[in-house]
């Protein structure tokens, strides 16, 4: 299925999306992308539906074709301080702010956003599977975040972030139970499921 190129009537429309919202460790990362309105690409899609190999192949294509793109990490201490929803929106704002072309309209994956400057916007549930610019932003955000998680994996290999990217897998939680937490963990998250004991 080919995704739609534009939502609004504005010619400079930016799509934005985040990656890593549900992770126990590492940043939440957002990207913002402005694509030419005539761009056609049947391969660009929601990053969650693509293999890592396909995302890595598409990333340079998006960067070459985009009129503007940027990404931003928000770190665990700030996530703990302002909560993950606010951190996700802040990451999107910071990515949009770095674009060398200011968008006239912003389309956002999901259903929550806060106004950025005076630019009109629309939140679109599952927008990364509907609009090219949001899908492109999802690919940039995911690949940049994954690259960062691969890097910090070298420092703390016992959590296997190279594989789980900080998500709450059984293996990741077992490592937290065994080794405790690192400076990269989000302390405001439930890092271990509560242990329930039933009196028999």
Assigned token pair, 56: 């890595």
Decide if pLDDT at 194 tops 70: no
Angle, helices 132-153 vs 52-65, to 10°: value is 120
Q: Which residue has the tokens 């940049």?
A: 144
pLDDT tens for each residue of 25-81? 999 999 999 999 888 888 999 899 999 999 999 999 999 999 999 999 999 999 999
pLDDT digits (tens, 9 = 90+) for 83-108: 999 999 999 999 999 999 999 999 99
How far apart, in whole angstroms, are the C-alpha atoms of residue 68 and residue 62? 10
- Please indicate, yes or no, whether the overall pTM of this predicted structure exceeds 0.75: yes
Domains delineated in the chain: 13-179 (3.30.420.10)
- Terminus-to-terminus CA distance in the chain, angstroms? 55
């Amino acid at each position: 299925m080919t995704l739609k190129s534009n939502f609004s009537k504005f010619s400079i429309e930016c799509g934005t999306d985040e990656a890593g919202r549900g992770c126990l460790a590492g940043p939440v990362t957002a990207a913002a992308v402005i694509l030419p309105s005539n761009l056609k690409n049947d391969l660009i899609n929601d990053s969650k539906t693509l293999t890592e190999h396909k995302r890595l192949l598409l990333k340079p294509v998006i960067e070459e074709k985009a009129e503007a793109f940027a990404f931003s990490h928000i770190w665990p201490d700030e996530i703990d301080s302002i909560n993950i929803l606010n951190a996700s929106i802040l990451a999107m704002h910071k990515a949009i702010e770095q674009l060398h072309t200011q968008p006239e309209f912003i389309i956002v994956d999901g259903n929550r956003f806060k106004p950025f400057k005076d630019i009109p916007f629309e939140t679109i549930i599952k927008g990364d599977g509907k609009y090219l610019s949001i899908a492109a932003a999802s690919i940039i955000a995911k690949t940049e975040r994954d690259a960062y998680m691969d890097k910090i994996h070298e420092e703390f290999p016992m959590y296997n972030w190279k594989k789980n990217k900080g998500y709450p897998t059984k293996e990741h939680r077992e490592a937290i139970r065994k080794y405790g937490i690192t400076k990269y963990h989000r302390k405001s998250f439930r890092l271990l499921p509560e242990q329930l004991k039933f009196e028999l």
